[in-house]
Each structure stands twice: as structure tokens, then as C-alpha cells.
A and B are shown apart, each in its own frame.
Chain A
């Protein structure tokens, strides 16, 4: 196991509802990433934290999406007013600053289905 945990592992919701996912990174890792993966595609970058600071957000992250990492440990990703197009696997990864060859370790993902 990589040590990154995510909760819940699966979420089914109705269109228009809000959902929140949690990621607990490996304890000594200061960097945390969120990615989204749809069927038949590779993961796509959503956002990145170094400690508690959110340093980059993808254009994929619409205003309905918000992410936090309040104490530089766990992170939450909230989707407001979910749409069917939000159905995907949401992956969290963590790493320790090591320059360009740093390894990102992925959690098991949260699989979201919006009906």
C-alpha cells in the first residue's frame, strides 16, 4: 500500500447535490495533488497544495469545485451542484519535495457517479 487514503471510496449522488471527498496523504509528505480520471483516459491534474497553500488550479476546476488543506495535512475536495459530467474517479496523490524526480504516490481514489 502507498499509504495515501481517500474517503469515501464510492459515492453515488443526484444531479445538483453537493459532495465532499477527503484525502489523507502520507504523513511526512508536504505536497498534495488532486487528479480526475474518466473512463479510457489518463488522470488529469486538478489542483496542487504545498503544505496548506493551494499553489495551482487547473482550468478544469470550475467555480463549482473547491479544495482545501487547512492544516497542511489532510485535504478535502468539494463539488457543488454536481453535474453528470462530474462522474469520474477522483485521485489524490502526495509527495515529498525532491526536485524533478519526486515520486507521487496515489490513493485508491473516490469513484463518483452523478445520476
Chain B
């Protein structure tokens, strides 16, 4: 079983739609969580960190459920420019020195005009 699992998609949605991505992680000792965005043939860029209380940044809302080991990302009023791959990311340091990131395979979002 992969350490971080997400639906690869693609998700094809019209402009203005609300879309939700889900992700599960296997190690209950994981301590920090992120969503990264990756455009085609580009590097990943941090979209937002995910906190236990849930957090929002404009049209983006991230939630974490530690009991279910589940992370979500909600995008409201989607724009054409939101088309990208969204990577669910878990920090696997488990209190150690290395903050190496464990990435899911990514979910491809295509927003249609």
C-alpha cells in the first residue's frame, strides 16, 4: 500500500464548479500535511499547508481528519487557471531530523470553459 494515496483523476469540471480532492495517508505518526500544485512540466509549488482545525485561503479550503487519516482540498468557483495536478503531501519526519516529503501520485484537474 502506498504511504499517500489519492485519486489520479482526471477531474473535468466546468468553470465556476466546486471540486473536491481526497487523500489518505497510512502512517498515523505523520505530523504535517500539505497540498502542492504542479503545472505540466513544471516543479511542484506549495498551495497550502493543512492544519487540524481546517484552513481556508480564498477559494481553497483544506481539511485534515487525523482519526481517519484523511486530507481534503476543496476548490470553489474554479477558474481555467486552476487546471493543474494537485499533489497531496505528508511530512514523514515523525519527529526525526529529516523533513522529507512523501507525495501522492497527484490528481489532475482540467477546468473547461
State the A residues within 8 Å of B (CB).
2, 31, 33, 35, 40-45, 48, 50, 55-56, 91, 93, 95, 100-109, 111
Is B32 a contact partner of A100 (Cβ separation < 8 A)?
A: yes
Bound complex: CA A104 to CA B99 (Å): 9
Q: Look across to chain B and name the residue whose beta carbon is closest to the beta carbon of A106.
A: B43
B101 touches A43 (CB 8 A): yes
Which residues of B come within 8 Å of A, CB atoms? 4, 8, 31-32, 41-46, 49, 87, 89, 91-93, 97-106
Residues of A contacting B: mostly: strand
From A102, which residue of chain B is reached at the shortest CB distance?
B99
- The residues of B that contact A56 with a CB separation of less than 8 Å are 97-98, 100
CA distance A44 to B3 in the complex (A): 11
Inter-subunit contact A107/B43 (CB<8 Å): yes
Q: Do B43 and A104 have beta carbons less than 8 Å apart?
A: no
What chain B residues lie within 8 Å of A2 (beta carbons)?
43, 45
Which residues of B lie under 8 Å from residue A93 when comparing CB positions? 101
Q: How many angstroms between the C-alpha atoms of A43 and B44 in the bound complex?
A: 9
B43 surroundings in chain A (CB, below 8 A): 2, 91, 106-109
CA distance A95 to B99 in the complex (A): 10
Collect the chain A residues with CB atoms within 8 Å of residue B103's CB: 42-44
- Are B49 and A101 interface neighbours, CB within 8 A? yes
In the A-B complex, the 7 residue pairs with the closest CB atoms? A42-B103, A106-B43, A100-B32, A45-B100, A56-B98, A48-B98, A100-B31
**Set A35, A43, A45, A103: member contacting B46, Cβ < 8 A:** A103
